[in-house]
Structure 1
Amino acid sequence: MKRIKHSVIILLLFSIISGIVGCRGEQKADDKVAEKTQQTFTCPMHPQVIKHEMGTCPICAMDLVPFEKNSDDKSIKLDAQRQLLANIKTIRIGDAGNEGISNQSVLNGRLVVDPQQSNYISAKIAGRVEELFVRETGVAISKGQPLYRLYSEQLATLQQEYLMALAQQKQFAGDTPTAIGVEQKLVSSAKEKLLLYGQTEAQLQKLSKTQQKNPYVTVFATQSGTVAELSITQGQYVAEGSPIMRLEGYGKLWVEADVYPNEMKQIKQGQALKVVVNGWEDQAQTMKVDFINPSLQAGTQLTQIRGSITNPNRQWQPGLQVEVMLAPQGASGGMVLPVDAVIRDGKGQHVWIKTGKDSFEPMQVSVGKANGYSINITSGIATGDEVVVTGAYLLYSEYILKRGKHPLG
């Protein structure tokens, strides 16, 4: 009887222990599932910050972003505002300019001001600058805009001569034709001087009507441009012919590129060459070679070629560095992209394809020849794909940050 009781007690204890172990096992399994499905968030600037709820970074106060380490989705989403901040730009494969490249030469160059777009303003008459409407360089000027107001005793004297000539013309109106002709010449001469000194027809008509001299003259801009040099200050006395300011137009800029003698055989007058402004690789321009310097620069083995390009929206400034592409000698085929579009690391090479309005997906590619600007894509992308050409590295970093793994797996 005692053995039976002992057996029952042992069975009861075994059942209780098994139940406890089972419960703990189920709890651990539930905890693993909860841990797997629980959403975590991290800071884009401080990945060491990880939280299980949406909030802000305790270090920089930026909004936390989802950390999708266990997600199998290959694409990554970036809203329009963040795309703009990241300067993400794309091109569609198959558009003009995606031809294959070869071992073409790249010339280093720079943007400079086109002298034909410059306008030098000088004083037409001596006087004192009573009011200066433009007081600093870098200011954009429109044609017809007032630049400065001048007080001139010389102008008052010329106006007095013009009024006297008009009065004499009226006085001798009934005299002989010879006398009338002389008076008309005097009036025309006095009027011509005033016009040369900046007076307008409307101002001369007002002067003859009111008979009131006005020693002040306002000088207006004869063309649009940007003030590059200012040579006067308010209150200063200027002589006739003194420099006032220099206006520059940036709607068209010169491109000056350095060329070694062994590269000159690839360049001809009037030849069209591709120009890439550093930082605007997706906006390649075409220039025609307008001038080839016949001599080498002092102390170097370089000569120069020159052409011009348009400056859309005045976005480029003189002094920016450019690359000029010489015509390739036998293209290698394939599709060509800017070198910054391809991410190359230990896992291989990949580009980012835009698959939706705010969606981007990595695509492994094989590459061929490359130069300082372009790289050939031999496989991995097809005609019609929209490939990211600037901002690809940001997408690469964003993917690793959010998913915790490499885009190629």
Structure 2
Amino acid sequence: MERKLFLKGLAIVAVLPSVFIAACSNEKKPEAAGAAKEKQQTFTCPMHPQVIKNEMGTCPICGMDLVPFEKNSDDKALKIDATRQALANITTIVIGANSLAGTKQLNGRLTVNPEQSSYISSRIAGRVEQLYVRETGVKVSKGQPLYKLYSEQLTTLQQEYLMAVAQEKQFQGDKIEKQIVASAKQKLLLYGQSESQVQQLIKTQKKDPFVVFYAPEGGVIAELSVTQGQYVTEGSPILRLEGYGQLWVEADVYPNEVKNIKVGQKVKVIVAGWENQPQEMTISFITPALQSGTQLTQIRGSIPNPGNQWQPGLQANVLLPLASTGNVLTLPVDAVIREGKGMHVWIKKSKDTFEPQLVKTGQENDSQVEITEGLTNGDQVVVTGAYLLYSEYILKKGKNPVDVLK
């Protein structure tokens, strides 16, 4: 009997530690879970996002207070207290129906009009004996000598012409001989000889293997394709002349604005630095495709350039008149954040809560833009500080607000 009691007591003593251990572990589990849950909240520095800590504190780099970092949060709302709103100059307006009119300013530039360019090539094979113009950017006048060419082929054509003229004298009145003379003369003219040079050839009876080529019109040397002493073949490019008497104006347009623009429409052009000389331009072409790597298309027209006072590459603003529309929702242009993924605004939901909202726009002028989708009458929309909210959201959430909305 005593032996049984002893064994029973021994068994109880052996079981007690495991019971205590289990109890202790059960008591610690909620604390551990709570600790793990707390560890999910991290903090970062607004100025140095590479600083990430698991507790509140200050930035070791700049000393600023750390802010909550909500990278894993799917909440699209952003909380900004009143003090920070004042510092960031965040202001709002209640959107409502208005009328939209005025002009839309398009960013543009002056470019060369290809119709004013001349491409000069060699009419005959030979060697460039002399280049009278050896650098680009030089202005030349119509009739100015450009280069001299030495050509054995030209000597042969001159000899054929002299022989044809001599043979015609022997058979005066023969129609075939006259045709041969005319054909030989035409060859010389086509290969660059002038009428006076042909007459001089008949007078002196001396062949001249050199031929000088003159500028067909005035312009600026934009490209030189040969050097002095170089041999060229028939048709080889020699140089390119650009005329600046008329310039193209190319302006960038968003695709949703193209529907309000027509070929033949008249617009005003203001060249930067010559604001007191506005020019009237007729739109002659609308590019059917978007520019590579952008979400923009282009419109084009031409303006006169008296005295070549403007150079290609100058900035020009195109003022596009807008038809007056009424009873549309409008916002200041700066309230809409535009990026490759879409357009959005920020709506104030409560005293310190802001949320992004995707929108679509219609017509716009220099200060106002029409909102066609995404907002309703009475929404309180951020008009200043929208880009700061955009940056704050990316910093805190670690993602683009447009990605959350889609």
Q: SS of the residue aligned with 2:187? A: helix
Q: SS of the residue aligned with 2:249? A: strand
* Separation in structure 2 between the aligned mates of residue 314 and residue 267 of structure 1, nearest angstrom: 29
2:274 pairs with one of 274, 280, 300 = 280
* Separation in structure 2 between the aligned mates of residue 110 and residue 155 of structure 1, nearest angstrom: 46
Q: 1:104 offset after TM fit, Å?
A: 2.8
1:199 pairs with one of 189, 193, 199 = 193
* Separation in structure 2 between the aligned mates of residue 289 and residue 208 of structure 1, nearest angstrom: 54
How big is each residue's C-alpha offset from its partner over 1:20-76, in whole Å with a ceiling of 9 and x where there is no partner?
xxxxxxxxxxxxxxxxxxxxxxxxxxxxxxxxxxxxxxxxxxxxxxxxxxxxxxxxx
* Separation in structure 2 between the aligned mates of residue 279 and residue 181 of structure 1, nearest angstrom: 66
Q: 1:329 offset after TM fit, Å?
A: 4.3
Q: 1:249 offset after TM fit, Å?
A: 0.6
Contact 1:273 1:326 in 2 (8 A): yes
Partner of 1:293: 287
How big is each residue's C-alpha offset from its partner over 1:227-266, in whole Å with a ceiling of 9 and x where there is no partner?
1001111111111111011000101100111111222233
Q: 1:182 to 1:313 in 2, by over 3 A?
A: closer
Q: 1:298 offset after TM fit, Å?
A: 3.4
Structure 2 residue 254 is matched with structure 1 residue 255? no
**1:1-80 counterparts in 2 under 5 A?**
none
1:271 pairs with one of 237, 247, 265 = 265
Partner of 2:123: 124
* Separation in structure 1 between the aligned mates of residue 286 and residue 139 of structure 2, nearest angstrom: 33
Residue range with higher mean Cα deviation, 321-330 or 123-132: 321-330
Q: 1:102 offset after TM fit, Å?
A: 5.7
Partner of 2:305: 311
Q: Which amino acid aligns with 1:122?
A: S
Partner of 1:3: none
Q: SS of the residue aligned with 1:105? A: strand
How big is each residue's C-alpha offset from its partner over 1:179-217, in whole Å with a ceiling of 9 and x where there is no partner?
x22222221111111010111121111111211111111
Q: SS of the residue aligned with 1:267? A: coil
Q: 1:301 offset after TM fit, Å?
A: 2.2
* Separation in structure 1 between the aligned mates of residue 216 and residue 133 of structure 2, nearest angstrom: 15
Partner of 1:153: 152
How big is each residue's C-alpha offset from its partner over 1:266-294, in whole Å with a ceiling of 9 and x where there is no partner?
31111111111122222221110011122
Partner of 1:185: 179
Q: 1:103 offset after TM fit, Å?
A: 5.1
* Separation in structure 2 between the aligned mates of residue 313 and residue 288 of structure 1, nearest angstrom: 21
Q: SS of the residue aligned with 2:267? A: strand
How big is each residue's C-alpha offset from its partner over 1:104-158, in whole Å with a ceiling of 9 and x where there is no partner?
3211111111011000011111111111111111111111111111111111110
Contact 2:102 2:321 in 1 (8 A): no
Structure with max Cα Rg: 2
Q: Which amino acid aligns with 1:149?
A: K
1:209 pairs with one of 179, 184, 203 = 203
Question: How many residues matched?
Answer: 229
Higher strand proportion? 2
Q: Which amino acid aligns with 2:145?
A: P
Partner of 1:58: none
Partner of 2:349: none
* Separation in structure 2 between the aligned mates of residue 140 and residue 203 of structure 1, nearest angstrom: 26
Q: 1:102 to 1:280 in 2, by over 3 A?
A: farther
Partner of 2:57: none
Q: Which amino acid aligns with 1:191?
A: K
Structure 2 residue 323 is matched with structure 1 residue 324? no
Contact 2:111 2:312 in 1 (8 A): yes
Partner of 1:241: 235
**1:90-101 counterparts in 2 under 5 A?**
none
Contact 1:266 1:327 in 2 (8 A): no
Contact 1:257 1:305 in 2 (8 A): yes
Partner of 2:296: 302
Contact 1:266 1:326 in 2 (8 A): no
Q: 1:169 to 1:103 in 2, by over 3 A?
A: closer
Contact 1:271 1:288 in 2 (8 A): yes
Q: Which amino acid aligns with 2:107?
A: N
* Separation in structure 2 between the aligned mates of residue 157 and residue 108 of structure 1, nearest angstrom: 58
Partner of 1:144: 143
Partner of 1:389: none
Q: 1:328 offset after TM fit, Å?
A: 4.1
* Separation in structure 2 between the aligned mates of residue 189 and residue 261 of structure 1, nearest angstrom: 57
Unaligned runs of 5+ in 2: 1-99, 326-364, 368-406
Q: Which amino acid aligns with 2:276?
A: D
Partner of 1:168: 167
Q: Which amino acid aligns with 2:301?
A: G
Q: 1:319 offset after TM fit, Å?
A: 1.3
